[in-house]
Amino acid sequence: MTEALLQIKDLRVYYHVDAGAVRAVDGVSFNLEAGIKLGLVGESGSGKSTMALALMRMIKAPGKIESGQMILDGVDLLQLSEEKMRQTKLMKLSMIPQGAMNSLNPVMRIDKQMMDGLEDHNSLLSKEELTARIQELLTAVDLDPKVAKMYPHELSGGMKQRVCVAMAISMEPDLIIADEPTSALDVVIQRQVMAMINRLQEKLGLALILIGHDMGLMAQSVDRLAVMYAGRMMEIADTKVIFGNPLHPYTQLLISSLPVLENKGVFSGIPGVTPSLLTPPPGCVFHTRCPKARDVCRERIPVFTEVETGRWVACHLITA
Ligand code: ATP
Ligand code: SF4
């Protein structure tokens, strides 16, 4: 059996604040196969962005990757030197960060910004070849190549986001992490940008980790769905399987709390509050809100277990 493109093993990322360690990612493990789109969902503060930043090795103090492995294409990213990691970024994995469009430099033309990344990794390409590549990339994200000579303030939000996507795919990486890539855009533009990302993902055969809250968008966009809660992974399975028959009580609540019309929309309204990640509850971290909790749930952490091929769940009710 071939190895998965990405293997995350028992990853822990904590933020060390005055009050103690915030366990933002606390023993997360999962695999992602090449060319597959994985949606990462969970309420605000469940650790999704921390997970993405860890993968890019962009966790800054007071955050720290405590332990674990992040193996991409056979190489543990945590063992790479700074220089090797810099090369790996863009060449093998890249990210469209949250609020990416605001990360464009306002006083630099688009082509200059795109050129910087390309030059870094294509020292053999001539200026003309780089210019041609930029035009090709802008066309790939449905932008007029004239955009190359414009400044960010001359572009709409959707156009800026397309530029960020062009930058992320510029080296045709194996994996792109997109952290809420459309959340700042209006709904119509969101759908257009998402359709464009899907098209490119298929064309280039990329694996994609799509982070978001919108389960409706996820249902339409991703092959597999990963559900996080309070820094831990609760359930992973094919999207259709999860929507058809969610096993984990938290996933069940997420899906049943959606507006009924085709289960589309942003989830809200699960009773109770998420626990403090400074002092997470013992046992199953969801037991304080779980309608099915029993004694064992307060005492033992459920092991994230493959209950059917490709279907992983952390719940005593399912894995006992
Ligand atoms: P959202 O959906 O709102 O973006 P998220 O699921 O991406 O949330 P994270 O942003 O990864 O969650 O946050 C996980 C936890 O880590 C939260 O409890 C958050 O308060 C904490 N956290 C994140 N960044 C820091 C930081 N720089 N310092 C201290 N705590 C942090
Ligand atoms: Fe609920 Fe227990 Fe399952 Fe946790 S382990 S989700 S508390 S039933």
> DSSP string of the chain?
-PPPSEEEEEEEEEEEETTEEEEEEEEEEEEE-TT-EEEEE-STTSSHHHHHHHHTT---TTEEEEEEEEEETTEEGGGS-HHHHHHHHHHTEEEE-TTGGGGS-TTS-HHHHHHHHHHHH-TTS-HHHHHHHHHHHHHHTT--GGGGGS-GGGS-HHHHHHHHHHHHHTT--SEEEEESTTTTS-HHHHHHHHHHHHHHHHHHT-EEEEE-SBHHHHHHH-SEEEEEETTEEEEEEEHHHHHHS--SHHHHHHHHTS-SGGG-SB----SS-PPPSSSPPSSSTTTTT-TT--HHHHHSPPP-EEEETTEEE--HHHH-
Atom 3 of ligand 1: nearest residue by CA position: 44
Q: 279: Cβ–Cβ under 8 A, 6 or more apart, which residues? A: 20
- Side-chain-side CA neighbours of 236 within 13 Å: the count stands at 21
pLDDT for res 263: 47
Q: Which two tokens stand for residue 57?
A: 């090795």
Tell me, yes or no, whether 124 lies in a domain.
no
pLDDT for res 213: 80
Q: Is the pLDDT of residue 270 over 60?
A: yes
Atom 7 of ligand 2: nearest residue by CA position: 287
Range of 54-63, 166-175, 247-256, 271-280 with top mean pLDDT: 54-63
Ligand 2 atom closest to residue 292's alpha carbon, by position in its atom list? 8
Judged by its nearest atom, the ligand closest to the C-alpha of residue 249 is: 2
Tell me, yes or no, whether 200 lies in a domain.
no
pLDDT for res 261: 52
Judged by its nearest atom, the ligand closest to the C-alpha of residue 41 is: 1
Tell me, yes or no, whether 288 lies in a domain.
yes
CATH number at residue 78: 3.40.50.300
pLDDT for res 217: 79
Distance (Å) from CA 127 to ligand 1 centroid: 41
CA angle centred on 189, ends 186 and 193, rounded to 5°: 130
Tell me, yes or no, whether 137 lies in a domain.
no
How far apart CA 142 and CA 123 sit, in angstroms, is 27
Please give the mean pLDDT across all residues of the chain.
90
Confidence of residue 224 (pLDDT cuts 50, 70, 90): very high
Q: Is the pLDDT of residue 265 over 60?
A: no
Mean pLDDT within 276-295: 96
Tell me, yes or no, whether 145 lies in a domain.
no
Mean pLDDT within 259-274: 64
Q: Which of 16, 25, 43, 48 to mutate to test the pocket of ligand 1 (most atoms within 8 A of CB)?
A: 48
Lowest mean pLDDT among 60-64, 79-83, 90-94: 90-94
* Rounded alpha-carbon distances, angstroms, from residue 265 to 219, 220, 234: 10, 12, 21
Of residues 208 and 171, more confidently modeled: 208
Tell me, yes or no, whether 222 lies in a domain.
yes
93-129 pLDDT, tens digit per residue, is 999 877 777 889 999 999 999 987 777 666 667 888 8
Tell me, yes or no, whether 183 lies in a domain.
no
Of residues 264 and 107, more confidently modeled: 107
Distance (Å) from CA 292 to ligand 2 centroid: 6
In terms of residue numbers, what domain contains 312? 6-84+207-319
Confidence of residue 208 (pLDDT cuts 50, 70, 90): very high
Nearest to 190 by CA among 204, 178, 201: 178
Lowest mean pLDDT among 80-94, 120-134, 153-167, 214-228: 120-134
How far apart CA 297 and CA 248 sit, in angstroms, is 13
pLDDT for res 47: 96
36-78 pLDDT, tens digit per residue, is 999 999 988 999 999 999 999 999 999 999 999 999 999 999 9
Tell me, yes or no, whether 79 lies in a domain.
yes
Domain count, the chain: 1
Ligand 1 atom closest to residue 98's alpha carbon, by position in its atom list? 4
How far apart CA 241 and CA 263 sit, in angstroms, is 14
C-beta 298 within 6 A of ligand 2 = no
Distance (Å) from CA 310 to ligand 2 centroid: 20
Give the predicted TM-score (pTM) of the model. Answer: 0.92
C-beta 266 within 6 A of ligand 2 = no
Mean pLDDT within 219-245: 95
